[in-house]
């Protein structure tokens, strides 16, 4: 006899069959029957806690901001798209890629991260290292030189457009056949006559002009027109330039609030699309008509100096977004979801593709013009002003070229105008947020006065040289503060605390390489610029370092007064982050003080801190909300027929 421990299996089966038959249902299960949709509709993402702020938001989309970044890093105020006169394409390409990998990509990531980590501090350097408060003043001056260059180059675009409309492209014809400059007489020829000289004679280049074997000096109409523009030989041109510049400056001052609306962003975006389409058509035409033909390669007397200067690699300045802190402002005020990994990669990739594409198109255009003329086109100058004589030469060889060149310059002028308005607004926002007593109208008045002073004393390329020098120094100071003085370990801990995941080793290594790389490059840029000024007996930027040292000393004195004397804190506070630095949420800020990756062990850490890091490491949190209908619970099971 089997031991069943008191259980009868047959009785159990009979009991189950009698209680759970077809047609007999539990009243509880009947009451729980629901016609609601499936559970998937009740599954939703838990929104992250949003820190409210009183600051206005920028409603630009991702594509609109990408258009702005592309235009900002490729304006004439960023020194060189491609030095078409001296630079080698292979050298340009690899140097630019090196700049992108070693400097642009990691620095843009840091900008975007800091805009999320501490969105209220656009001038974040004194908060990270209070002793360097003077870097704020250096950034403001650098931003002022930046907008001064941009507004002048934008006015030059519109000046070409207005002159082309009123005088029917005057750069395609000579004003006079014989002209005297610096005691030299030279003949001016239009494009077809100019090309004939290279086909029938051996040409050299002496001083400012081309010279034949019979010592005839001559030049090209487009070059002569640009010389008159650059040297302000015509008083009417100078008057028109001043009017256009004044209108652009007043317009930016009146429209500075438009950065928070979408009108300026939309105009810039669609203009940039039209400009890309025009460059694409030009590139296709140049690729189809390209031929590697022989032509007279003419050397100049200062060829060694040009090569020496070009080794400074001024394209590094083009990727600088330090002053004003544009990436930080736009990312911190954006209504879109910001992810540093994704956004930094997209921004830098788009900038690089657009920059290299324009550089390649410019190079092909230069080769096309020289093949058409059968000789080297020489007009050496500091900066990208070759833009204003190479492109008119190119369009002069095409059907409807007079019309196309006006569209080309007009699109550039509109894009740079919108870029100038956004930059102007970013400077105002950063100043007003840092110094609350500086109202917008006061900032506009101060910037206008400083611009008038700089424009009045501008000589021998003062604005251009100072922009290079101040941008190199301000960006170098920024990298030293963030990666060395902050220091790097604290920055990595900030990223780990904010996202709950330690950055990859590759990203950390890029943070280590960046300050070393930029220190070397900035030193080369400044050294070559000083050599150029000494060779030309100019002293435009020799006192820049004195002013920068003065601003740093003044800022250090103010920081000592504010923290040590006024706040009664220890002098240690001057070399550690400010108390207000960090997350805006007070609870998160307290948790950040407890977190140190060197000592953090998840199982031994405070529960609140470990829970915070776990929640941050999750990409998204989901919540399942199942609404139940009201039911009446019963203890007995009834037959459906009886009810």
Query: What digits encode the pLDDT tens for the residues 106-139?
Result: 999 999 999 999 998 999 999 999 999 999 999 9
User: Quick check: is 187 in a domain?
Assistant: yes
User: Quick check: is 28 in a domain?
Assistant: no
**Residue 18 pLDDT > 80:** no
**Residue 385 pLDDT > 50:** yes
Q: How far apart are CA 93 and CA 356, in angstroms?
A: 7
CA dihedral 251, 257, 260, 261 (to 10 degrees): -60
Strand partners, 206: 209
pLDDT at residue number 320: 72
pLDDT at residue number 631: 55
Distances (CA, A) of 181 to 253, 283, 382, 388, 443: 40, 37, 20, 21, 43
**Residue 325 pLDDT > 80:** yes
User: Quick check: is 56 in a domain?
Assistant: no
User: Quick check: is 625 in a domain?
Assistant: no
User: Quick check: is 116 in a domain?
Assistant: yes
The residue-averaged pLDDT of 285-305 equals: 75
Q: How far apart are CA 197 and CA 178, in angstroms?
A: 16
Angle in degrees, CA 382, 385, 389, rounded to 5: 135
| Mean pLDDT, rounded, of the chain | 82
Biggest CA pair distance of the chain: 133
pLDDT band at 296 (very low <50, low <70, confident <90, very high): confident
Backbone angles phi, psi at 624, to 5 degrees: -105, 115
Closest among 227, 247, 222, 530 to 394, alpha carbons compared: 222
Task: State the sign of the Cα–Cα–Cα–Cα dihedral 404, 407, 411, 413.
Answer: positive
User: Quick check: is 589 in a domain?
Assistant: no
User: Quick check: is 428 in a domain?
Assistant: yes
Burial (0-12, 13-18, 19+ Cβ within 10 Å), 149 = buried
Higher pLDDT, 596 or 536: 596
**Residue 199 pLDDT > 50:** yes
**Tokens at 62, concatenated:** 């991702």
Coil, helix or strand for 311? coil
User: Quick check: is 622 in a domain?
Assistant: no
Are 511 and 483 spatial neighbours (Cβ–Cβ below 8 Å)? yes
Higher pLDDT, 85 or 107: 107
pLDDT at residue number 301: 60
**Number of domains within the chain:** 1
Range of the domain at 428: 62-452+475-520
State how beta strands 217-220 and 184-189 pair.
parallel
Q: How far apart are CA 78 and CA 318, in angstroms?
A: 5
Are 41 and 623 spatial neighbours (Cβ–Cβ below 8 Å)? no
Question: pLDDT of 159-190, one tens digit each?
Answer: 999 999 998 999 998 877 667 666 677 888 99
State the pTM of this model. Answer: 0.85
The DSSP symbol for 539 reads -
**Residue 34 pLDDT > 60:** no
The residue-averaged pLDDT of 199-224 equals: 84
Question: pLDDT of 437-472, one tens digit each?
Answer: 988 999 999 999 988 888 877 766 677 778 888 888
């Amino acid at each position: 006899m089997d031991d069943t421990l008191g259980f009868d299996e047959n009785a159990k089966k009979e009991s189950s069959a009698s209680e759970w038959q077809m047609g007999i249902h539990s009243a509880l299960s009947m009451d729980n029957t629901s016609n609601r949709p499936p559970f998937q509709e009740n599954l939703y993402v838990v929104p992250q806690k949003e820190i409210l702020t009183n600051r206005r938001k920028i409603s630009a989309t991702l594509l609109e901001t990408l258009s702005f970044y592309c235009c900002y890093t490729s304006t004439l105020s960023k020194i060189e798209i491609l030095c078409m006169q001296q630079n080698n394409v292979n050298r340009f390409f690899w140097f630019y890629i090196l700049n992108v990998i070693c400097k642009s990509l990691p620095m843009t990531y840091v900008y975007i991260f800091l805009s999320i980590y501490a969105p209220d501090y656009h001038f974040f350097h004194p908060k990270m290292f209070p002793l360097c408060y003077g870097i704020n003043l250096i950034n403001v001056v650098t931003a002022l030189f930046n907008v001064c260059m941009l507004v002048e180059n934008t006015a030059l675009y519109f000046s070409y457009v207005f002159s082309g409309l009123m005088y029917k492209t005057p750069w395609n014809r000579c004003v006079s056949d014989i002209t005297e400059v610096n005691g030299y007489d030279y003949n001016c020829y239009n494009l077809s006559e100019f090309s004939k000289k290279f086909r029938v004679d051996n040409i050299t280049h002496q001083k400012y002009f081309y010279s034949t074997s019979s010592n005839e000096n001559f030049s090209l109409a487009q070059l002569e027109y640009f010389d008159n523009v650059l040297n302000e030989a015509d008083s009417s041109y100078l008057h028109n330039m001043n009017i256009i510049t004044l209108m652009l400056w007043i317009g930016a001052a009146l429209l500075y609030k438009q950065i928070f609306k979408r009108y300026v962003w939309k105009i810039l975006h669609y203009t940039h699309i039209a400009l890309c389409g025009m460059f694409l058509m030009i590139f296709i035409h140049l690729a189809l008509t390209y031929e590697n033909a022989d032509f007279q390669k003419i050397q100049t007397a200062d060829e060694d100096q040009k090569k020496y200067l070009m080794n400074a690699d001024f394209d590094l300045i083009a990727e600088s977004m330090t002053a004003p802190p544009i990436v930080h402002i736009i990312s911190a005020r954006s209504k879109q979801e910001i992810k540093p990994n994704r956004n930094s990669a997209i921004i830098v990739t788009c900038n690089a593709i657009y920059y290299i594409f324009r550089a390649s198109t410019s190079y092909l255009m230069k080769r096309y013009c020289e093949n058409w003329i059968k000789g080297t086109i020489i007009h050496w100058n500091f900066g990208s002003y070759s833009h204003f004589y190479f492109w008119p030469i190119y369009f002069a060889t095409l059907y409807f070229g007079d019309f196309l060149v006006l569209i080309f310059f007009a699109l550039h002028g509109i894009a740079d105008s919108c870029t100038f308005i956004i930059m102007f607004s970013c400077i105002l926002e950063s100043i007003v947020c840092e110094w609350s007593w500086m109202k917008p109208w006061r900032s506009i008045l101060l910037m206008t006065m400083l611009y008038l002073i700089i424009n009045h004393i501008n000589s021998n390329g003062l604005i251009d040289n100072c922009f290079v020098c101040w941008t190199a120094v301000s960006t170098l100071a920024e990298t030293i503060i963030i990666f060395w003085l902050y220091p790097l370990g604290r920055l990595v801990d900030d990223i780990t605390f904010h996202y709950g995941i330690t950055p990859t080793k590759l990203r950390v290594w890029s943070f280590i390489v960046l300050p070393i790389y930029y220190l070397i490059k900035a030193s080369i840029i400044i050294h070559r610029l000083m050599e150029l000024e000494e060779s030309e007996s100019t002293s435009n930027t020799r006192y820049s370092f004195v002013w920068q040292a003065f601003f740093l000393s003044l800022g250090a004195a103010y920081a000592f007064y504010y923290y040590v004397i006024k706040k009664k804190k220890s002098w240690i506070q001057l070399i550690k982050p400010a108390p207000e630095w960090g997350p805006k949420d007070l609870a998160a800020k307290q948790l950040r003080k407890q977190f140190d990756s060197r000592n953090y062990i998840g199982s031994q850490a405070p529960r609140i801190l470990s829970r915070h890091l776990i929640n941050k490491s999750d990409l998204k949190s989901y919540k399942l909300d199942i609404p139940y209908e009201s039911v009446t619970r019963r203890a007995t099971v009834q037959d459906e027929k009886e009810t």
